[in-house]
Structure 1
Amino acid sequence: MSINSIRTLLEDSAVSHPSKTAIVFNEKSISYEDLLKKVNQVAFYLKELDLPKGSRIGLYSNKGIDQVIAILSILSTDYILVPLTRLLKPEQVQYIINDCDIKCIITDRLKLESIEEIDFNGHIISYETAHKDIPSFEEIYKYYNKPFKHDVNGHENAVITYSFGITGQPKGIVISHRNLIDSARVVSQYLELREEDVISGTLIFNLDYGLNQIFCSLYKRATLALHRFILAGDFYNHLINDKVTVVPLMPVNISNMFDEDEHRLPSSDLLSNVRVLTSSGGNVTVKMLKGLDKLFPDAKFYSMHGLTEAFRSTYLDPSQIHIRPDSIGKAIPDVELYVINEEGKECKPREVGELIHRGGYIYRGFWNAPVETAQRFKSIQILKDVIDLEGQLTDEIVVATGDYVYKDEEGYFYFVSRHDNMIKTRGFRVSPYEIESVVANNLPQIEQCAIFSVPNEEIEEEIVMVYSSRSELAPKEITFELKKHLASYMIPSKIIYKKSLPLVPSDKNKINKEELKNELLEK
C-alpha cells in the first residue's frame, strides 16, 4: 500500500483509534472503525461493477456522513472521484458527464430527480433505497460484508474537480492521491492541527479546499463535524454544540455569519472552543475581521491564497492580519514563489507581475485540455533569468498562475488581479479587485460591489461600478471617497445602483459581472 494515499490514512486511523468519533453530523456519528467498515463495503461494490481502471465516478448529493463514505470509497479504488456540487444545474452536470466520460453517479434521493433529466446511461447508486432498480448504500451495508483490499498507487489520478465561472465551459483539474496527502500534511503543519481537534465541515466538497477538511481530519485522527450553512444561527449552534475548534471558511460564509442582528449573536464565551479560523477564495474585509475579532478574540485567523493548478501558494501568519490585512502572505512550506514581468525578469518590490509557483502541491494538469495545460504548466526555463539553473534538471514543471501580484520590501505578497480580469484604460492596467477592496474597506454602507469595464474607443475601456445597499448613495459621495484612495484613472466613470446584484448560478460566492455588463450594453 502506498504511503501517499488517503486509503492508508483511513486504515491506519481505524487501527490506532478504532472507537474515536471520526465524523459527526447533527445527531449522527460514526467511529473510525465503523467508517472503514462502511467504506470497504461500498468500495467492494464499486469494484464489482468491473469498470475500466481510471473510470470516473460522479458524486452528486447533499452533505452527510454517507457523502464522506462515498468519497473515501472511490478513493479506495483505482477509480477517479468527480465531485458534482449540488448547486449545479442539470445541464452543467451533463457537461461534466460528457467531458470526462463519467461511468457511475452516486447520489441521494433528492438529486435522483435531477439525474432523470440528464442523458446518462451509466450506473446510478443512491444512499437511500428509492427505486427497485437502483442499488442503495442501505442495501450495500446490509449484504456486502466480504473483506476488501486494494493497493492504491500514490501517483495515480484520484480526483477531477470542476469550477463553473461566469463565461465559457470549465476544465477539470486532475489531482493525484499524493497531492491529497501532501495538502493534508502541509495544512496540518502550519495550522498546528491536533488529534483532539474538531474540524468544521462547513465547506462543500466540490473543490480542494473543501475536500481538505476531510483529509486533514484523517491525517491528525481528529473529528470532522459536518454542517450545511443555511442560517447564521444554525451555524453558531453547530460551533457550540459540536465543540468545534477549527473552522475553515470562505469570505461569503464570514459575511453570512453577521446576517443576524447584533444582539442575537452569541457571546464570545460560548465560542471559546474555536482556536483556528481559516479563509480562502476571496478578499476578507476589515469589517469581517472586526466581527471575527469580537466573536473569537483568542482564535488565530489564517488568510490563504490557493490556485486552480496547485493546492495552495500562500498564507498570512495570524500575527500579521491586522498589520497588513490586504496581504495574501508568504509562501507555504515547500513552495517557492516568484513575481516576473513580461520579459521574464524578476519584479522589483511593489512592481506588479505574474506569480510563478515552484515546488510542492502542483496538480497534474487539465483533463483533455492540452492548450489550457500548456498555458499554465510551464518548464522551469520560464525562471531562467531569475534563478540559477546550472546543474539542475530542466524538465521541472512550475505553474504560471495568471495571478497578477506584487511583493513588498519585507517579502509579503499582495494580490492585484487575475490576468483575464485586468482593465486597460488610458494606457494603464487597472485591477477591478483593487477598486472593490477600497469600496469594501471605506464605504461600509455598500453591501455588494462589482467593478468591470465596457468598450470606449477614446480610452480603450471605461470603468463601471455597480453596487447594492439599503438605499442609494449619491454618486458624488462615492467618487469623493474613492478619490482619497485611488489614482484618477481608476475612478469609475459610471456608478449604478441596484437593490441586489445577480450571482453566478453555480457559485453563490461570485457576482455575475457578465450579466451586469450585458444589461448595460443592451440599453
Structure 2
Amino acid sequence: MSIFTLGDLLAHRAVTRATDTAVEVGEATITYRRLHESACDFSRRLVQRGIRPGDRVAIHLPRSFEMLACFFGVTRFGAVAVIVNSSLRERQIEHIIQHSGARLVVTDTRLRSRMSPTLQRPTLLVDEAVTAESRSAEASSRPIGRDLAALIYTSGSTGLPKGVMVTHANLIAGARIVADYLGLTPADRTLALLPWSFDAGLNQPLATFWAGGTLVIDGSPFAPHLCRTLKAARITGLAGVPPLWEMLVRPPSPFLRMELPDLRYLTNTGGHLRPETLARIRAAHPRTSVYLMYGLTEAFRSTYLPPELIDARPGSMGRAIPDTEILVLDEAGRPCAPGETGELVHRGPTVAAGYWKDPEATAKVFRPHPFAVRGSAPEYVVYSGDYVRRDEEGFLYYVGRRDEQFKSRGFRVNPMEIEAGLLASGLVAEAVVFPDGQVGDDTRITAVVVPNDPESFTVEVLDSYCRSALPVHQHPHRFAVLDRLPRSSSGKVDRMAARANAAAHTPVGPAQGPHPPDGGAP
C-alpha cells in the first residue's frame, strides 16, 4: 500500500500490525486496529456536525489516546487539524481559534473552562455520548498528499504566532525521514513528552507509527516520575528540548544515577544543549546514542549530527537530513564558501505550504528555489533567517538569528556568541543576551542569566570572567539574575518574555553589586 496521507499511514498499520500496541497510557494499551477504528468513528462525528473537507477543527486536548483519535479523525477526510496546546491561556487560545477560522473546537470539560466565554465557536466534548446518527454518518471524500493536514502555530520571536500550513505530504515525509535516520523499528517504544502542537512533538507519534512501534504517553513533567517511567515502560527513545535535559541532570532527578538498558537514543531540538550537560548525559548513559538536531517549523527538520560524530564535530548541528538540501547563501544570494557565514536555506519535501492568511510573510520566507533548472516545475524553499557557517566537510555550525544581530563598538555581534561565552564560564545554567538602548554612542548589552549556584553567585565574578574571556565588544554592560527563564508552549526559552523580565527586575551593572536572584519567571 502506498502511503501519501495520514489516513493511509494509520489504515496501513491497522492492517499490517492490527493487534500490536500503538499507544500505552498508564496500564491501558490501544492496538493499531482500535486507534484506526476510533479515528473513523470520530470522522463520522465530525461529518454529522457539518464539518467538510478544508474546514479547520481546533483540537484543545492534553496528550492522550483521545487526542490522537481526534487528530487522525479530523485529517482522514480532508479537514484541517489545529492543535491548541493544553497549557495555553485564554488570550492565546482565542487568537489561534479566531485566526485559524476554526469551525469547531474539540475539547473536554476541564479545558473548556480556559476558553473565553465570548468566543463564539461550536464545541464538541470528547467525553459526551456518541449518538447513533454520528455512528452512521460517513465522509464522502479523502485527501491527497498536497492537501493541508494541519496548522501549526509557532511561538515566533516577535508579534502573535503565525499558523504554518503543513500538508499530508510534509508530515508523511517528516515521519519517514526521522524514522529512517533514528533507525526506528516495531520494537521501539517512544515516550511522548513534547507538546503535539510543536512540530517536533507531533513527529514523535507519526515517526513511531511509521515504524510500527509503540507510543507511550505520560503527562508528568516531574523528573523522578519521568525517570521511573523511562525504566518501568522500557522506553527506547526520548526527544526533548534543552530545559528538559537541564532538569534531568539536576537534583532531585535520579537520571544520571540510573541504569536504563532499554534507552537506545535521545534527541535534542529547540535550542543549543550545553556541552557540560551533554557530557554528563553521555558519561552516565554511554550506550545511549544522542542525536543533536536543528529544525524550524516552516520546514520541520533540517539537520542532524550522527551520535558517533559528536566528539569529532563539537558544536556542530550536523548536515542535511535525508532527501533534503541545505544551502548557505550570502546577502547577494550566492553560495558561501567554507567558513563564511550566511543564511540557511532549506530545500526538500518537508517545506511547508506557507503561513495561513499571511501572504506578505509567506512571500518573504517561502521563495522560489534560487538555482532551479530553467523550465522545471516551480519549487519553493525556506529562507530560515538563521545564520550558519559550513566547514570544509559540509558540517554546519549555528551562528545566530539574522533579526537579532546588532552593532557593538563597531563590530557586528550575534547574541548567541555572548550567550555561549557566558555558559562557558560554568557560573550560569542559562543566558539570554540582547541590545538594550545606548551607552553614549554605543549599544548597551544586557544579559539575563540563571546561576548554577544561586547561593554563591555574584555579578562581579561573572563580569570579571567576561572581561578576561570575551572580546571587549561582547562585554555585557548590565546583568539581570533570575531563578529561571520563561518558556514558550513548546518548552523553548521565550526571549521576548526574558527581556520583559529583565526590565521588570531592573538589570544592574557590575559596579553596583550583585542583583539578588529572587526574580522568577512565570
TM-score (norm 1): 0.90
CA contact (8 A) 2:108 2:125 kept: yes
1:453 is matched with which residue: 435, 447, 453? 435
Cα gap change, 1:229 to 1:182, in 2 (>3 Å): same
Q: Deviations over 1:72-101 (max 9, x none)?
A: 111212110001001211111111121111
In structure 2, what is the Cα distance between the partners aligned to 1:180 and 1:112? 28
Matches within 5 A, 1:192-211: 192-211=183-202
Higher mean Cα deviation, 503-512 or 1-10?
Answer: 503-512
User: Who is 1:243 aligned against?
Assistant: 234
User: Who is 1:256 aligned against?
Assistant: 247
Higher mean Cα deviation, 200-209 or 454-463?
Answer: 454-463
| Offset of residue 355 of structure 1 | 0.9
In structure 1, what is the Cα distance between the partners aligned to 2:309 and 2:376? 36
* Count, aligned residues: 504
Gaps of 5+ in 1: 129-135, 384-388
Q: Deviations over 1:366-415 (max 9, x none)?
A: 0000111011011223x5xxxxx554627321111100111122211111
Structure 1 residue 515 and structure 2 residue 497: aligned? no
Q: Deviations over 1:154-179 (max 9, x none)?
A: 11000001123464111100000011
Partner-residue secondary structure (3-state), 1:8: helix
Matches within 5 A, 1:104-183: 104-115=104-115, 117-128=116-127, 136=128, 138-139=129-130, 144=135, 150-165=141-156, 167-183=158-174
Code of the residue aligned with 1:157 in structure 2: it is L
Cα gap change, 1:459 to 1:310, in 2 (>3 Å): farther
User: Who is 1:408 aligned against?
Assistant: 391
CA contact (8 A) 2:108 2:126 kept: yes
| Offset of residue 501 of structure 1 | 4.3
Cα gap change, 1:231 to 1:286, in 2 (>3 Å): same
In structure 2, what is the Cα distance between the partners aligned to 1:295 and 1:202? 21
Code of the residue aligned with 1:444 in structure 2: it is G
In structure 1, what is the Cα distance between the partners aligned to 2:100 and 2:77? 18
| Offset of residue 482 of structure 1 | 3.2
User: Who is 2:512 aligned against?
Assistant: none
In structure 2, what is the Cα distance between the partners aligned to 1:390 and 1:166? 34
CA contact (8 A) 2:446 2:507 kept: no
| Offset of residue 2 of structure 1 | 6.9
Cα gap change, 1:394 to 1:324, in 2 (>3 Å): same
Code of the residue aligned with 2:161 in structure 1: it is P
Q: Deviations over 1:165-224 (max 9, x none)?
A: 464111100000011110011001111111111111111100211111111121111110
User: Who is 1:320 aligned against?
Assistant: 309
Matches within 5 A, 1:79-478: 79-115=79-115, 117-128=116-127, 136=128, 138-139=129-130, 144=135, 150-165=141-156, 167-261=158-252, 264-265=254-255, 267-269=257-259, 271-381=260-370, 383=371, 389=372, 391=374, 393=376, 395-440=378-423, 442-456=424-438, 458-469=440-451, 470-471=454-455, 473-478=457-462
Fraction of identical pairs, as percent = 27
Gaps of 5+ in 2: 509-522
In structure 1, what is the Cα distance between the partners aligned to 2:134 and 2:79? 22
User: Who is 1:50 aligned against?
Assistant: 50
Code of the residue aligned with 2:398 in structure 1: it is F
In structure 2, what is the Cα distance between the partners aligned to 1:143 and 1:94? 28
Cα gap change, 1:377 to 1:413, in 2 (>3 Å): same
| Offset of residue 365 of structure 1 | 0.1
| Offset of residue 507 of structure 1 | 5.2
In structure 2, what is the Cα distance between the partners aligned to 1:497 and 1:360? 43
CA contact (8 A) 2:239 2:268 kept: yes
Cα gap change, 1:266 to 1:293, in 2 (>3 Å): closer
| Offset of residue 521 of structure 1 | 7.8
In structure 2, what is the Cα distance between the partners aligned to 1:342 and 1:123? 48
Cα gap change, 1:146 to 1:377, in 2 (>3 Å): closer
| Offset of residue 34 of structure 1 | 1.1
Cα gap change, 1:371 to 1:517, in 2 (>3 Å): farther
Partner-residue secondary structure (3-state), 2:473: helix
In structure 1, what is the Cα distance between the partners aligned to 2:247 and 2:278? 13
| Offset of residue 486 of structure 1 | 3.1
User: Who is 1:10 aligned against?
Assistant: 10
Partner-residue secondary structure (3-state), 1:106: strand
Alignment root-mean-square deviation, CA:
2.4
Partner-residue secondary structure (3-state), 1:438: helix
| Offset of residue 110 of structure 1 | 1.5
User: Who is 1:132 aligned against?
Assistant: none
| Offset of residue 520 of structure 1 | 6.9
CA contact (8 A) 2:480 2:502 kept: no
Cα gap change, 1:152 to 1:416, in 2 (>3 Å): same
Q: Deviations over 1:11-34 (max 9, x none)?
A: 111111111111001111101111
CA contact (8 A) 2:48 2:133 kept: no
Matches within 5 A, 1:54-73: 54-73=54-73
